[in-house]
Chains A and B, each alone.
Chain A
Amino acid sequence: MYAAHAHDQAHGDHAHSPGGIMRWITTTNHKDIGTLYLWFSFTMLMVGGVLAIGIRAELFQPGLQFWRPEFFNELTTMHGLIMVFGAIMPAFVGFANWQIPMMIGAPDMAFARMNNWSFWLLPPAACLLVGSFFVPGGATAAGWTLYAPLSTQMGPGMDLAIFALHIMGASSIMGAINIITTILNMRAPGMDLMKMPLFVWTWLITAYLLIAVMPVLAGAVTMVLTDRHFGTNFFNAAGGGDPVLFQHIFWFFGHPEVYIMILPAFGIISQVIPAFARKPLFGYASMVYALASIAILSFIVWAHHMFTVGMPAAGQLFFMFATMLIAVPTGVKVFNWIATMWKGSMTFEAPMLFACGFIFVFSMGGFTGLMLAIPPVDIQVQDTYYVVAHFHYVLVAGSLFAIFAGAYFWIPKWTGHMYDETLGKWHFWLSLIFFNITFFPMHFLGLAGMPRRIPDYALQFADFNMVASFGGFGFGLTQLIFLAAVIKCIRGGEKAPDKPWEGADTLEWTLPSPPPYHSFETPPVVK
């Protein structure tokens, strides 16, 4: 097989691949699979976005306009599940697939067939999730956190969600094992761990987090399943169990999970900023240590999601201080990015715009996170729109903006064409403006006491909700600009040079644009 590669290469890229749809179903190529991941993720972003528009339409005015309250809760639950497991996580795995082999000088991923399965488990899981809307009783309305006893009471839609999570968990674990093995075992000669591009580092640590916590989520939802159908009493006090047990197990998964969704974003930002500041990344080693610290700390902060369930003061203090400690490595990263820009000769193409926007808006989400880490404050704003504002600042303006930054940054490499800079700039500015119109007012709503996951609200919340809904519709429509920019770029455009960004210095820019089917047939030597 490997003997034949050079030959295949010379005669067009995939002579041995089946054509048509079977190419995509059977592919073992990291670029094909990366593309599949990214399109799947974008599709799910649209599905989750439609659900979000359903939520904002209902909240446009006080009173019930469109949905039954139960269906409103289905919308919020499925919006969360689809965005977390269908849009954000697969998008980063898509980046990992495309970029990691090219950035470490490898021909492909370590387990190319398993890589295919990791992706192709996602569409069945998405079918189960989206299909659960159409079963009797509808989709689960327990919230994306699936707290017992709500989740032990829902209809068949809950079972479908549980099985979807099992399948997506299997997909994530296999993907993570693949990525970790690729990074540890497939690096080009001379590529020491401390010479790896930071995006690769972030994925090494993210993959470790995934392998550590996805099985815990599988265990948690398995207990929900057996409580629902097989008579166990894990979450039933009458049997000696405890609904709070679910929260502990879920958040032991859930807190590392939020870092799973932000660390690869840090990695993308750490590639983009040096490229457009035309300076090497400031404090590379401290960036790596900061990442590792965030990952370790992420395992000992989970109960800050549960301050209001009742816990000893010593527990509250421990989880408060542990949580605040995370601000230190995160601060190291933010200051390093800014120091990288200091006295750089900066230009502001779309990737850099998104990266700068990321720093501003993600930092705001970080600050509100610090406030939420303080138990007396958290008890006041628990389950209000303040929390909703906080996690959308870190997940949309954090993870999603970084995904856009990465997409514009690498799409010339992937397609061989430059994207339309005008469209990219419009996409950024409208996204930034509409994002803040949508989510900034939610801070005020939350501080004033508006609860989340309720389809109706008191009259004093009406103005800010109308503003937020207006922003939400705008943000949703703005993403069509991204779709247009991507399609336009795939179909043609100015030919991209091997290295379209002057300051970029990682290995993928030494390959042609678009790169050959198997990235590095013979490993480059890294000095």
Chain B
Amino acid sequence: MMSQSARYFIPDPSRWPIFGSVALLCMASGTALWINGAPWGKFVLIAGLCILIYMLFGWFGAVARESEGGKYNQQVDTSFRWGMSWFIFSEAMFFAAFFAALFYMRVLSVPDLGSLDSKMIWPEFTAQWPTAGPGIAEKFTPMGAWGIPALNTLLLLASGVTVTWAHWGLLQNDRSQLSLGLIMTIVLGAAFLGFQVYEYGHAYFELNLRLSTGAYGATFFMLTGFHGFHVTVGTIMLIAILGRFTAGHFTADHHFGFVGVIWYWHFVDWVWLLLFVVVYWL
């Protein structure tokens, strides 16, 4: 740090953040309008999304240009590492809220609803998991663990291996191994998402398992849904990395953009393993 600290990097004034703020304002107000019965709200939402995508392209493009232009010294690199680590920690805490809801329901609220205290209101209800709760009569079939979900587990674990293999390729300056590994990871991620979409269709149309299927449906879809969203974001990030690599970016000793995405991908992997055990299996 000593040798580098005389050369700080501070970016010039930037117009990208304000685009991001306008985008989020549009998305928030558009969604609020839409879900409260103003159909044109969705156009505001879409406009916000477009601005957000424009902002992401511009902002990340600027960062990539600065990085390739040699403006980032060791100190900036360390800052990025700290920043990404804390960002992943914040993501973990977001998932923790939903896992907490699942555990709370399974350990506390559902057994309580089946206890003597609640017999006056719901005499028929026996506490068991999975359940849609005492007040929802519609029958549903819970999602089994050993079909598609197990396959998806294998896909994600394999993608963790391929992305590491791609990273090794970069470290040894073997660019064909890098691009092959990246493409395999992207394909595995996309296959995971495809199976997930198929599984949701299966749940909705054949198992009668919906977001509104009580405690089980809410926790199942919110946990797997947010996870799937993160896989989507991770896959897009991998595609962006592949694009940057194709454009000649990254060297064996200067590629934190890629490493950050690998961290994120492994984090998403870990969330899935926990999900597989407590949502699908047990």
- List residues of chain A with CB under 8 Å of any chain B CB: 1-2, 5, 16-18, 22-23, 25-28, 106-108, 110-114, 116-117, 120-121, 123-124, 127-128, 155-156, 159-160, 163-164, 166-167, 170, 173, 176-178, 180-181, 184-186, 188-189, 211-216, 218-220, 222-223, 226, 229-234, 236-242, 244-245, 248-249, 252, 518, 521-523
Contacts and interface: CB of A to CB of B under 8 A. Distances in A.
B133 A124 contact: no
Given A180-B82, A212-B89, A213-B93, A108 B135 contact: no
Contact of B100 (A16, A244, A249): A249
B13 A17 contact: yes
B204 to A, nearest CB: 12
B83 A110 contact: yes
- Nearest 8 CB-CB pairings of A with B: A238-B135, A219-B97, A240-B133, A240-B215, A231-B212, A117-B17, A163-B28, A239-B214
A523 B28 contact: no
A19 B270 CA distance: 48
Contacts of A26: 13-15, 17-18
Contacts of B263: none
A2 B97 contact: no
B13 A215 contact: no
B79 A110 contact: yes
Pick the most buried of B5, B22, B35: most chain A CB atoms within 10 A of its CB. Answer: B5
A181 B10 contact: no
Given A28-B10, A177-B82, 20 more contacts: A1-B10, A2-B10, A26-B15, A27-B13, A28-B14, A120-B20, A173-B90, A185-B82, A215-B93, A215-B97, A219-B96, A226-B211, A231-B210, A232-B218, A237-B109, A237-B113, A240-B133, A240-B134, A242-B109, A523-B5
A192 to B, nearest CB: 12
B28 A128 contact: yes
Interface in B210-267: 210-212, 214-218, 221-222
Nearest to A25: B18
A170 B210 CA distance: 29
Contacts of B93: 211-213, 215-216
Interface in B16-49: 16-18, 20-22, 24-25, 28-29, 31-32, 35-36
B12 A215 contact: no
Contact of A117 (B21, B36, B94): B21
Contact of A241 (B18, B28, B109): B109
Nearest to A228: B35
B210 A124 contact: no
Nearest to A105: B5
A230 B218 CA distance: 10
Contact of B79 (A28, A111, A167): A111
Contacts of A120: 17-18, 20-21
B65 interface: no
B14 A124 contact: no
A318 to B, nearest CB: 16
B34 to A, nearest CB: 10
B15 A25 contact: yes
B35 A229 contact: yes
B18 A232 contact: no
Nearest to B1: A189
Nearest to B130: A240
A113 B100 contact: no
Given A111-B83, A159-B35, A232-B222, A185 B101 contact: no
8 contacts: A121-B20, A124-B22, A181-B79, A185-B78, A212-B89, A215-B93, A229-B35, A252-B100
B89 A211 contact: yes
B214 A113 contact: no
A136 B222 CA distance: 29
Pick the most buried of A26, A186, A234, A521: most chain B CB atoms within 10 A of its CB. Answer: A234
Interface in B72-109: 75, 78-79, 82-83, 86-87, 89-91, 93-98, 100-101, 104-105, 108-109
Given A156-B32, A159-B35, A230 B9 contact: no
A128 B33 CA distance: 12
Q: Is the interface of A mostly helix, strand, loop or mixed?
A: helix
A176 B29 CA distance: 26
A239 B13 contact: no
B176 to A, nearest CB: 35
A185 B75 contact: yes
A177 B13 contact: no
Contacts of B16: 113, 117
A238 B9 contact: no
B198 to A, nearest CB: 21
B53 to A, nearest CB: 16
B51 interface: no
Pick the most buried of B35, B86, B98, B210: most chain A CB atoms within 10 A of its CB. Answer: B86
Contact of B212 (A28, A177, A233): A233
A240 B111 CA distance: 9
B212 A127 contact: no
B175 interface: no
Contacts of A128: 25, 28-29, 32
Contacts of A226: 211, 218, 222
B97 A249 contact: yes
Pick the most buried of B6, B25, B108, B217: most chain A CB atoms within 10 A of its CB. Answer: B25
A215 B90 CA distance: 6
A252 B94 CA distance: 12
A523 B1 CA distance: 11
B7 interface: yes
A252 B101 CA distance: 12
B147 interface: no
B105 A242 contact: yes
A219 B94 contact: yes
Given A26-B15, A26-B18, A232 B211 contact: yes
A180 B215 contact: no
B104 to A, nearest CB: 5
A164 B59 CA distance: 23
Contact of B217 (A25, A181, A232): A232
A137 to B, nearest CB: 9
Contacts of B11: 1, 28, 112-113
Contacts of A124: 21-22, 24-25, 28
